[in-house]
Structure 1
Amino acid sequence: MQVLWDMRKTFRCAVLTGSSSDITNVAKEVVNLFADGGQGFQNTVLLLVNDDHILENLQDSIMMEIAEQRIVTRMPVVIFFSCVRKNAVLQSDHVIIEAALSDTEEKKFNEKKEELRRRFGSKCEQFHGFNILQTNFSQDYVKQVCKVIRPVPRAKRPKRIQLVGFLSLLNAYVPGSYLLENQCLDLFKHKDYRMKPFSHLIITFQQGTEKRVCMAHSMIAQCCTELMAEAGVTRSDTARNFLTHLCRDEVPPFLLGFVKDMLTKREMKIKENPINSTEITEEPERFSRLILDIQKKEGETVSASVLKVASKKFDKNPYFPQALARFYYIELKDYKPAELWAKRAKQRDPQNSFIADTLGQVHKNHLKNKKSDVKPREILQLATKAIDAFKDEEGLAENEQGTDMKEDGETNVSRIFNSRGQFGYLQVCNLVHDQLVSQNETWKRVLTKAVPMGSVLELLGDNQLFEFKDLINSLRDEVAKKCDFFDKYLSYSKPDMKKDDPSYLYEDIAECYRKYVRNSPPEHVKEKGADFIQKLEQNVVDTSAGPLSCLDGEYSESELKEITTQWEEISLHKDSVTALVNYIFAHVMLMNRRAVLPHECKSLTAFRKKMPLSTDESPESHMLALLLDWPTNDEGKCSAVSQLIKCMRLSYKQSYEKDLRSRHLCPLFFIGKAQGLNRIVHRKTLEGLFERNNTIQDWSNNWSSEKIFKDRMVQDHLLKLDGMVRNYRLLATVGGTVIQVDANMRNSLWKHRQVSFYLGFTIRGPVAFGIHTKTAEREISETESELSPCEDTTTEPAVRMKFGASCSKMDSSDLTKLQPEVDDIHTYSLQSEAGQYECSVSALRWVCKEKVSFTYQFRSWEEHMKRPLCKDYMQAGPLLDISVTSGNIEELHLPHWICIGE
């Protein structure tokens, strides 16, 4: 807050408070705050946000709102000031504010202490928040202050001691929490509510119409909680009494939120890879800090008892019974009550797939911890329960739609597509296979459908197992289906730009595929070509994503050649666009490995004959069509490409948008400098080039920061395209036409400018990477005025720039001087109505008959003096790079300068 106060005259400062569920409305308020006062009075908003999960969505919504309001600006609309409280922080590019003063800060605090002592005398000894800072967060100071609560009676504790305990527990485990003053008075029954000798430990402050009460500092709250626990007033006792005395009748939403965080919010912790000590990741704790502390200091059953009280007290909230069910099956290994509470959680929110997941996890863990001598019948009974629960979860996940978080006060449904049900199913199948096969090898043939179950019942030793026939028969096909889903899910996307999926996800999926699918073809595959499909299944490529995922796997060149040969045979025997596409991509895959090919790709002509593709074809097919037909500067295929982009995005929406809606789409291919299929460059090829010059790799960071595109070898491999940024959209300029493409780094779109970039392709369509402002040599030229609009794309009005010399002089008395705005990269921005004007900085003069906006920058002469146009000239003044962003300039006067625009 101090930063906001210090910057209040520079920016329009604001804090995002309350629910962040309505991102669209928040974006509108931010843009309105920026634009308040109209043109010429706009100013950047500095927005304090304490939830880093909403930043990407909020950024996109703000950009859409700016475009909708047609705001053109050369300054940032908003700066996100993201401050998130964490107990464990990975080393990153974030600024970490720790509880420690610098020498300079310590000196200033000491000076302030003397000033306060002169003004307030001994009273300043009770300014605990300040004193804790001034003593550099001294634990000794905190312990000295908190001694006042000793001794603490275990029985018949005065109400004031109870209130200190409640506030301490709440503030120690939920930073920023509070109680209302009237809630505290209700505790005293409005009788004797004097808090001495503890009154200096508690503060009351006004927030709107409410009077709020909390401990003076979170360190004091933590110390009081610890001292009371040492005196026998345990955390669990305080928590239960808190729920009993302060959560009676109807609990206000703010207090329910605090209790929910205290009992169910899982903090992030740092986890080190036991195999690779340099690999460190973040993962959530098993339970909330309070529950973990109670478990450590008081025992597991006591932790469960606190969650049980909360589950009964808040009888409509699903999160407390969910946490209780998790505690029973994870810590206590008691599966009957775990199942009971998981079902109660599900009853309270029957449409929430994430709540439903808990029941499946209970049964899965029960199965996992069964003794090795358990009978097959028991294994299959438990597996049936787990599979039914996960299939129910999968069905609920299919129905959870929406781009924003949905909130009704108690239940949050994530915008994330929940794939846990499908993954849980595969984990159960792994357990079933391991436990059954370990008892009898015959199960291996039964589970892969190599033999019918009914024909080997005697070998299995139990005729009653036949009742599980339907379950057993469904496993192999369901495993193949779910592995196909994850093949695309993991090949095409990742959780976000800076985070990868955990390695166990890949391992468990691959293991399940090997156990159930690898050694047996599906029964329906009996036609010619079945042998090839069988071999492809063994390489996990019998899907539309198959060839595209091969480069992410560890396949040898010989294996890839075999896959390519197999797809070639299939494409010859099946009249299928997918088969053609897979063969061509397999061929491209080999070319990216620099393999020696026996012949050229034979299916290109056949594929081109099937164009234009219908929107019913897969996004992979449309991507291949785009890669083949993307125009170079001497090709005029803009209208066809625009239609292909439109079809690909529609196909993506139909095929993958629901499943990948919250995930970051990974680039699959890039346009290179070569010709034909050789110009299609796979992501892994770029990583290989980058790897040669860099020993330590952090691929998530290399891609998210676009560091990889700064490598010279990568740059030499890729084709650089030109374009322009207009209204938060990137328009590629190819062959005299404009094509709208997405940008990988959305923060590259805030300023109107001419740019260059590399073109990549995700499964949704073309995306620009490595966006950079073009050099002055290639700045706005006559080419821009000749850009013709493409079908179904948005274009900017083009203006032909005419250059010429003039000997006439302008009368300075007729000019209106204007002061330009200047941004952090020294771009000067000017706006004017019709008239004659002069810039007060550069003496640049212009005449316009309508409202006009333009920018300019001072450039270096060095690169231009080598050009033939400048050969006979010497430098005689500054060089200006001028860009008109809206309107028209009739005359532009540059005294003693020359114009070298083309």
Structure 2
Amino acid sequence: MSCITSTDSVASDRSDETSDDGPDEVSEVECIINPKIQKVSQYVIENPESTNTQLFSMLALLSAYVPGSYLLESECQQILGPPDPIHGGPPFEERMKPFIDFISKSGPKCKIHQKLAPECVVLLNDLGISRSATARNLMSSLCGDQIEPHLIRFIKDLLTKREMGEKVKDKFSRLIEDIKKHEGFYKALSVLRTASDKFGLSPVFPQVVARLNYIARNPPHYGYAIKWANKAIERDPLNSYFADTLGQIHKHRLLKTEGFENIMNIADKAFEAFKDVERKAEEEESSKTATADTGSTSDTFNNRGLFGFLQVAKITFEKLSQQQRKSLIQNKKMEVEAKFEFFEWYLGFSRPDMKTLEPPFFWKDVAYCYKHYTTIPAAESTSFPGLLVCLDHGLFTSKERRAEFLEAEKTVSDLEEIRGVLKTTYEENVDDVKVAERYILSNIVLSNKMPDSPQLTSVRELKTIIQRFLGIERSHRSPGFYLLVLLLLWPEEKPPALQGDATQLPLDLMFDCDLQQYVTLMKKAFERAKYAKYLRGRHLLPLFFLGKGSGLSKWVHKSRLDAVVEEKVDVELAGEQEDINTKKSVRIADMWIKGEVWQLPEIQEILLPVECQSPVRLQEQEEQEVCICPGENKILDAAVLRPPLFYLGFTIQGPVVFPVGRPQVTVTSEENSLAGHQGHEATVDI
């Protein structure tokens, strides 16, 4: 018999002390056989089909698997049936004996104490009341024509919400996983099919049925999986996440397929399915996008169509002989190259959030697929985003390292060779702005590795190159172009001999009057290039920081900060033995999030703090405004009020500031200023 924690505080007369918003407080004592449990067990054995036993099992199931869930007393009365207390029937507490000691009531809401609920579910299962039977009973009892919104939400979470495991999400919800484990595949299938019937307009449940049929069924039944995936698509034909399920089924089937004709047949279906996902994702807006798990609004672009296509291309290539691959490469090479280019800048400019990185297999699949179809290693790319991340090679946080590629750190000679090749290419294509961008960037990257390299082109010459393109076709330039404009035209630090009011300085010493214009143009280019669409909801990575040097060397690549942070964390974790990579990732992320990186002497030594033009207070959940003058280190007299110090950086969207000595504040560019969004953010005018 299952054992439940004993406590006399688990009683309805103490329910007013339990908050709906927080966890139930239950005494932490040794697990012993409680006489009340013996009484409940005996009652369930004798009355397994009584309405109060059924209600208790439903409350236990909800409370165990959906924290914060409840049933309204009116819903409980619906399950208990007549006579209702308002018509002279016995009160709820009387009808729920002997279960009432385990039920918490807060106003009209009823639930089982969360720490007791899982044990109650196990006990009931041991006594013959299974999880699957209870789930079906819950839906048949309460899911009629009119279903309360809170109940819809609870049942969706109960059957579809996947928890995050140590490294990846679970395949199914905790309840479905437990039903599979303790009752078998078909019981889980029965529950989900019941939900699909009860919620006839929802695509979520047929989607999970489809996934169950090809992931959990042994052997997989791809026919049923495809049938249910199509049913989900029929219920929401514009949603890219439900379309993705069909692509995943074909991809899974491809892995198990042999024979050239069979392989190509399944591959073609998979390619088409993922192209459909891509088309639908392109048409989705963030305010209307539904996620696969919950059917709620998604703030991120669905990249599964693009990534799924590359995975299918990689799998198909690896299944074919060298002779059979020729036509495949000829037909798919251009599409593979285009999708590789997408992920090269997508992963180079952003990450899911400040704590999270893409899983290791992500870049591994992208890079392997690209090499299969082009014979070129991804690490040798000299595209604009490829150059931006080439200094990351060898770092713990680099996508190459996470993908377990043995990519060596770029040497000075490597970077000088890249710069030399791009110089030659530029000289042969002086009117090609894309070639010019790469040539200029190669010099900035090289200067970060060796500031006094004799191969470096002078800043004056690089400015001349960029200014050739400034006055023409402004509406067609990329965000990367304006990033280079800002880096090259950003004025040097104010000469020490010049004192007095900043407004009295010559314009060329105080700031370039066109800088704000270029910030605005960069923002517009970010929108025009659809980066705002594709990178929405993701954390934009700072690419460069303003340093204490001059010329090109005043721009510090983020990799130099990452190297300092990594060395610091390695020292901290020197004695650790277990799960070192996970601990290292968490600690590095924490240092950025908490602003500890700005306190490291090695970083303070290379970055140049700037002061805002007017004093500000940075507070959580408020949009703030600060002003800085490029070229100026001191704006206000310290005797009046010393404003906070900032470090200045650039993302692909524009300038950002990071308050020195405070948690990270990200500030993004808007049309006439660097505007913050809700959160730890501020606004900067240039």
Which residue number in structure 1 is paired with residue 682 of structure 2? none
1:403/1:257 CA distance change after superposition, 3 Å: closer
Q: Structure 1 residue 195 and structure 2 residue 95: aligned?
A: yes
1:706 CA displacement: 2.8
1: distance between equivalents of 2:564 and 2:305? 38
Higher normalized strand content (fraction of residues): 1
1:722/1:380 CA distance change after superposition, 3 Å: same
**Secondary structure, in 3 states, of the residue corresponding to 2:162?**
coil
Q: Structure 1 residue 718 and structure 2 residue 607: aligned?
A: yes
Q: Structure 1 residue 174 and structure 2 residue 58: aligned?
A: no
1: distance between equivalents of 2:294 and 2:590? 36
Which residue number in structure 2 is paired with residue 78 of structure 1? none
Q: Structure 1 residue 343 and structure 2 residue 230: aligned?
A: yes
1:212/1:792 CA distance change after superposition, 3 Å: closer
1:180 CA displacement: 2.6
Of the structure 1 ranges 420-429 and 588-597, higher mean CA displacement relative to structure 2 is found in 588-597
Which residue number in structure 2 is paired with residue 637 of structure 1? 511
2: distance between equivalents of 1:420 and 1:159? 46
Instruction: Answer whether contact 2:48 2:129 (CA < 8 A) is retained.
Output: no
* 1:859-896: CA deviation from partner (whole Å, max 9, x where unpaired): xxxxxxxxxxxxxxxxxxxxxxxxxxxxxxxxxxxxxx
Identity of aligned residues (%): 34
* 1:503-532: CA deviation from partner (whole Å, max 9, x where unpaired): 11111111011001236xxxxxxxxxxxxx
1:270 CA displacement: 2.1
2:481 maps to amino acid = S
Instruction: Answer whether contact 1:143 1:223 (CA < 8 A) is retained.
Output: no
1:771 CA displacement: 2.9
1:539 CA displacement: 4.9
1: distance between equivalents of 2:468 and 2:190? 69
2: distance between equivalents of 1:156 and 1:637? 81
1:478 CA displacement: 0.7
1:378 CA displacement: 1.1
1:224 CA displacement: 2.7
Q: Structure 1 residue 366 and structure 2 residue 253: aligned?
A: yes
Which residue number in structure 2 is paired with residue 664 of structure 1? 539
Of the three residues 212, 219, 222, the one matched with 2:109 is 212
Of the three residues 609, 619, 633, the one matched with 2:479 is 619
* 1:35-79: CA deviation from partner (whole Å, max 9, x where unpaired): xxxxxxxxxxxxxxxxxxxxxxxxxxxxxxxxxxxxxxxxxxxxx
1:672 CA displacement: 1.7
Instruction: Answer whether contact 2:11 2:104 (CA < 8 A) is retained.
Output: no
**Secondary structure, in 3 states, of the residue corresponding to 1:304?**
helix
1:647 CA displacement: 0.8
* 1:548-606: CA deviation from partner (whole Å, max 9, x where unpaired): 12223345324333322221121111121221111121122122222874433165122
Which residue number in structure 2 is paired with residue 573 of structure 1? 428
**Secondary structure, in 3 states, of the residue corresponding to 1:615?**
helix
Which residue number in structure 2 is paired with residue 506 of structure 1? 363
Q: Structure 1 residue 699 and structure 2 residue 539: aligned?
A: no
**Secondary structure, in 3 states, of the residue corresponding to 1:760?**
strand
Which residue number in structure 1 is paired with residue 551 of structure 2? 676
Which residue number in structure 1 is paired with residue 525 of structure 2? 651
* 1:418-444: CA deviation from partner (whole Å, max 9, x where unpaired): 1111111111111100111xxx21134
1:369 CA displacement: 2.3
1:135 CA displacement: 3.8
Which residue number in structure 2 is paired with residue 93 of structure 1? none
Q: Structure 1 residue 296 and structure 2 residue 198: aligned?
A: no
- Paired residues, number: 587
1:754/1:442 CA distance change after superposition, 3 Å: same
Which residue number in structure 1 is paired with residue 418 of structure 2? 563
Which residue number in structure 2 is paired with residue 76 of structure 1? none
1:717 maps to amino acid = I
Q: Structure 1 residue 547 and structure 2 residue 436: aligned?
A: no
Q: Structure 1 residue 489 and structure 2 residue 346: aligned?
A: yes
Which residue number in structure 2 is paired with residue 799 of structure 1? none
2:448 maps to amino acid = N
Instruction: Answer whether contact 1:146 1:220 (CA < 8 A) is retained.
Output: no
1:731 maps to amino acid = C
2: distance between equivalents of 1:323 and 1:313? 14
2: distance between equivalents of 1:330 and 1:687? 39
Instruction: Answer whether contact 1:581 1:624 (CA < 8 A) is retained.
Output: yes
Larger Cα-atom Rg: 1
Which residue number in structure 2 is paired with residue 446 of structure 1? 327
1: distance between equivalents of 2:674 and 2:126? 69
* 1:252-278: CA deviation from partner (whole Å, max 9, x where unpaired): 21111111111111122224xxxxxxx
Q: Structure 1 residue 139 and structure 2 residue 31: aligned?
A: yes
Instruction: Answer whether contact 1:352 1:413 (CA < 8 A) is retained.
Output: no
**Secondary structure, in 3 states, of the residue corresponding to 2:268?**
helix
1:657 CA displacement: 0.8
Which residue number in structure 1 is paired with residue 403 of structure 2? none
Map 1:743-782; keep pairs closer than 5 Å.
754-771=643-660
2: distance between equivalents of 1:375 and 1:143? 65
1:138/1:159 CA distance change after superposition, 3 Å: same
2: distance between equivalents of 1:382 and 1:257? 37
2: distance between equivalents of 1:242 and 1:417? 35
1:135/1:141 CA distance change after superposition, 3 Å: farther
1: distance between equivalents of 2:35 and 2:327? 67
Which residue number in structure 2 is paired with residue 608 of structure 1? 467
2:644 maps to amino acid = V
1:417/1:560 CA distance change after superposition, 3 Å: same
1:664 maps to amino acid = H
In structure 2, the gaps of 5 or more residues are 19-23, 84-88, 394-406, 496-508, 574-583, 617-622, 636-640, 663-670, 676-686
1:512 maps to amino acid = C
1:341 CA displacement: 1.0
2: distance between equivalents of 1:499 and 1:410? 21
Which residue number in structure 2 is paired with residue 355 of structure 1? 242
1:406 CA displacement: 7.5
2:437 maps to amino acid = V
Which residue number in structure 1 is paired with residue 581 of structure 2? none
1:241/1:402 CA distance change after superposition, 3 Å: closer
Instruction: Answer whether contact 1:633 1:734 (CA < 8 A) is retained.
Output: no
Which residue number in structure 1 is paired with residue 211 of structure 2? 326
1:154/1:550 CA distance change after superposition, 3 Å: farther
Which residue number in structure 2 is paired with residue 591 of structure 1? 447
* 1:479-511: CA deviation from partner (whole Å, max 9, x where unpaired): 100110000000000111122222111111110
1: distance between equivalents of 2:512 and 2:46? 81
2: distance between equivalents of 1:552 and 1:630? 25
1:226/1:189 CA distance change after superposition, 3 Å: same
**Secondary structure, in 3 states, of the residue corresponding to 1:268?**
coil
2:552 maps to amino acid = L
Instruction: Answer whether contact 2:210 2:226 (CA < 8 A) is retained.
Output: yes
Map 1:752-901; keep pairs closer than 5 Å.
754-771=643-660, 792-793=672-673
1:498 maps to amino acid = K
**Secondary structure, in 3 states, of the residue corresponding to 1:681?**
strand
Instruction: Answer whether contact 2:569 2:588 (CA < 8 A) is retained.
Output: no
The answer to which structure, 1 or 2, has the higher relative contact order (CA under 8 A, 6+ apart) is 2
2:410 maps to amino acid = S
1:496 maps to amino acid = D
* 1:806-833: CA deviation from partner (whole Å, max 9, x where unpaired): xxxxxxxxxxxxxxxxxxxxxxxxxxxx
1:339 CA displacement: 0.9
2: distance between equivalents of 1:147 and 1:725? 68
1:669/1:133 CA distance change after superposition, 3 Å: closer
1: distance between equivalents of 2:255 and 2:179? 27
* 1:746-775: CA deviation from partner (whole Å, max 9, x where unpaired): xxxxxx9712222111101111124359xx
1:220 CA displacement: 3.5
1: distance between equivalents of 2:189 and 2:370? 38
2: distance between equivalents of 1:684 and 1:647? 27
1:668/1:427 CA distance change after superposition, 3 Å: same
1:568 maps to amino acid = K
Which residue number in structure 2 is paired with residue 729 of structure 1? 625
Which residue number in structure 2 is paired with residue 255 of structure 1? 151
